[in-house]
């Protein structure tokens, strides 16, 4: 059963009691991410996420880690485009220890200047690691190109230049402006006494008050462009992107199913044709990223540089076939079965449950139960999928290619092409 409650200070709490398990997953979710940063703050959300683990008034960074190691639990965090999450998973008997430690991190972290400088170095190494991994960096580049000039396109890690400029005062100001009760959700799922957990959350998190200040930006425009970046790599990496759909768009469930059919599973059209039938690439897939006011649909593949242009040509031919022929009833039914199976199987994991109810509360301001999701999946028809294909693929792709200078790639559209060598 799911319980929703709003504390007097405006902080939202969502709890799910799962009696059949012995674990408890919890998260502090903050509605701020890289798209909420001013240009001069680029990377501050992610840097701040690191700093909450660097020591509090009573515990060093090592002692914080030892708390969870000592009880056989896990603690971690991540930063996304539109939210940041601090999450833990423990045995049910250690729920209070985990909640208390998370509260201590949130309210008494030192944000020590020396630690900040060290952590900047860590994040810069993280940037270097991604730059050295074209299979990862191509996905950052496609977002950057697609939403050029808008904070949504900025890299979550920031840049070396922006990180150098961030000081402790900016971190504290960002906390005051963005880590506010009305912009936060605490989510707990697992073997819990919901009333007792809620009382403890009231004690730990119910007394702070901050006035939110936001950096307001409108919805980004999708930018069609081409970028080929020469890198000394053994494999070419390519992303093609089109405008997608926001969280609550009418096409949300249709997009989930279409993504599954086209490239998100091992039986998908792209995987079967490019990898299984032709043996042209090891990794090929599609994905859809939804945001609060827009989305991004992308196709990725990695291939031998001398064969990558041929793979690109085959994909363009397949897209034209999708537009002309749509999908079959058999493909749609298989995708529905896969999606429903994935939804139901995720209920066996308390971390998945915690994330699901938290995102519903933070992003949608409501809870979407399993029956509603399955009903929406079942409502999708072959005809509506064909309409979606024609709408999705009506414009030119944004193209990003990473590969050796000896084998430059070019998308066949008549878009102006830029080269970054």
pLDDT tens for each residue of the chain, 421 residues long: 999 999 999 999 999 999 999 999 999 999 999 999 999 999 999 999 999 999 999 999 999 999 999 999 999 999 999 999 999 999 999 999 999 999 999 999 999 999 999 999 999 999 999 999 999 999 999 999 999 999 999 999 999 999 999 999 999 999 999 999 999 999 999 999 999 999 999 999 999 999 888 777 789 999 999 999 999 999 999 999 999 999 999 999 999 999 999 999 999 999 999 999 999 999 999 999 999 999 999 999 999 999 999 999 999 999 999 999 999 999 999 999 999 999 999 999 999 999 999 999 999 999 999 999 999 999 999 999 999 999 999 989 999 999 998 767 777 654 434 444 3
Compute the distance between CA of residue 403 and CA of residue 415 in angstroms, rounded to an integer. Answer: 20
Same-domain check for residues 68 and 164: yes
Which long-range contacts link 313-321 to residues 24+ away (Cβ below 8 Å)?
A: 313/412, 314/273, 314/274, 314/278, 314/280, 315/240, 315/270, 315/274, 316/412, 318/269, 318/270, 318/273, 319/393
**Domain for residue 231, yes or no?**
yes
Among 149, 175, 205, the domain-final residue is: 205
Phi, psi of 223 (to 5 degrees): -105, 125
3-state secondary structure of 415: coil
Same-domain check for residues 274 and 170: no
**Domain for residue 400, yes or no?**
yes
**Domain for residue 172, yes or no?**
yes
Same-domain check for residues 167 and 22: yes
Name the active-site residue from 16, 37, 49, 361: 49
3-state secondary structure of 414: coil
pLDDT of res. 417: 42
Same-domain check for residues 201 and 264: no
The secondary structure element, H or E, covering residue 243 is strand 236-243
Q: How many residues does the chain have?
A: 421
**Domain for residue 263, yes or no?**
yes
**Domain for residue 300, yes or no?**
yes
**Domain for residue 221, yes or no?**
no
pLDDT of res. 416: 39
* Residue range of the domain that includes 336: 226-420
Same-domain check for residues 194 and 244: no
Same-domain check for residues 44 and 147: yes
Which of the 8 DSSP states describes residue 238? E
**Domain for residue 217, yes or no?**
no
Compute the distance between CA of residue 381 and CA of residue 387 in angstroms, rounded to an integer. Answer: 10
Using CA of residue 333, residue 334, residue 337, residue 342, what is the dihedral sign?
negative
Same-domain check for residues 178 and 299: no
Bridge partners for 190 per DSSP: 17, 24
Same-domain check for residues 97 and 128: yes
The secondary structure element, H or E, covering residue 63 is helix 61-70
pLDDT of res. 413: 56
pLDDT of res. 395: 87
Tokens of 122: 């860590």
Same-domain check for residues 415 and 295: yes
Among 146, 170, 205, the domain-final residue is: 205
Which CATH number is 153's domain given? 3.30.830.10
Same-domain check for residues 377 and 249: yes
Same-domain check for residues 99 and 26: yes
pLDDT of res. 217: 79
Same-domain check for residues 346 and 403: yes
Please spell the DSSP secondary structure of 69-138, one letter per residue: HHTT-EEEEEE-SS-EEEEEEEEGGGHHHHHHHHHHHHHHB---HHHHHHHHHHHHHHHHHHHT-HHHHH
**Domain for residue 130, yes or no?**
yes
The number of domains in the chain is 2
Compute the distance between CA of residue 337 and CA of residue 329 in angstroms, rounded to an integer. Answer: 12
Compute the distance between CA of residue 210 and CA of residue 232 in angstroms, rounded to an integer. Answer: 49
Q: b/e string for 185-210 if b means 16 or more Cβ within 10 A?
A: bbbbbbbbebeebbebbbebbbebeb
125 is catalytic: no
């Amino acid at each position: 059963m799911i319980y929703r409650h709003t504390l007097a200070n405006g902080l939202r709490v969502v709890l799910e009691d799962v009696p059949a398990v012995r674990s408890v997953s919890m998260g502090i979710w903050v509605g701020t991410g890289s798209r909420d940063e001013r240009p001069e703050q680029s990377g501050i959300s992610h840097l701040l996420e690191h700093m909450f683990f660097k020591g509090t008034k009573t515990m060093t960074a090592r002692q914080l880690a030892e708390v969870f190691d000592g009880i056989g639990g896990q603690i971690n965090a991540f930063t996304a485009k539109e939210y940041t999450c601090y999450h833990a998973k423990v045995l049910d008997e250690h729920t209070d220890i985990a909640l208390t430690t998370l509260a201590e991190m949130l309210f008494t972290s030192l944000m020590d200047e020396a630690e900040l400088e060290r952590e900047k170095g860590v994040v810069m190494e993280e940037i270097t690691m991604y730059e050295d991994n074209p299979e990862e960096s191509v996905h950052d580049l496609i977002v950057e190109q697609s939403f050029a000039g808008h904070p949504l396109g900025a890299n979550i890690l920031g840049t070396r230049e922006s990180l150098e400029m961030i000081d402790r005062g900016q971190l504290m100001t960002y906390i005051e402006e963005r880590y506010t009760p009305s912009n936060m959700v605490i989510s707990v799922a697992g073997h819990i006494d919901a009333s007792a957990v809620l009382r403890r959350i009231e004690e730990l998190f119910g007394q702070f008050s901050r006035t939110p200040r936001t950096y307001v930006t409108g919805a980004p425009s999708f930018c069609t462009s081409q970028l080929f970046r020469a890198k000394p790599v053994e494999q070419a990496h390519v992303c093609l992107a089109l405008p997608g759909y926001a969280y609550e768009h009418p096409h949300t469930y249709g997009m989930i199913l279409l993504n599954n059919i086209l490239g998100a599973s091992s039986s998908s059209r792209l995987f079967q044709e490019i990898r299984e039938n032709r043996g042209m690439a090891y990794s090929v897939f599609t994905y859809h990223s939804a945001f609060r006011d827009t989305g991004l649909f992308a196709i990725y593949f990695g291939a031998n540089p001398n064969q990558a242009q041929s793979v690109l040509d085959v994909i363009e031919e397949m897209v034209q076939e999708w537009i002309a022929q749509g999908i079959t009833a058999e493909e749609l039914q298989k995708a529905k079965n896969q999606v429903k199976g994935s939804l139901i199987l995720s209920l066996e994991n308390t971390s998945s449950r915690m994330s699901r109810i938290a995102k519903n509360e933070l992003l949608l301001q409501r809870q979407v139960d399993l029956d509603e999701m399955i009903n929406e999946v079942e409502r999708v028809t072959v005809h509506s999928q064909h309409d979606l294909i024609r709408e999705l693929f009506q414009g030119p792709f944004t193209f990003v290619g990473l590969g050796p200078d000896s084998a430059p790639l070019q998308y066949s559209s008549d878009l102006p092409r830029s080269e970054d060598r």
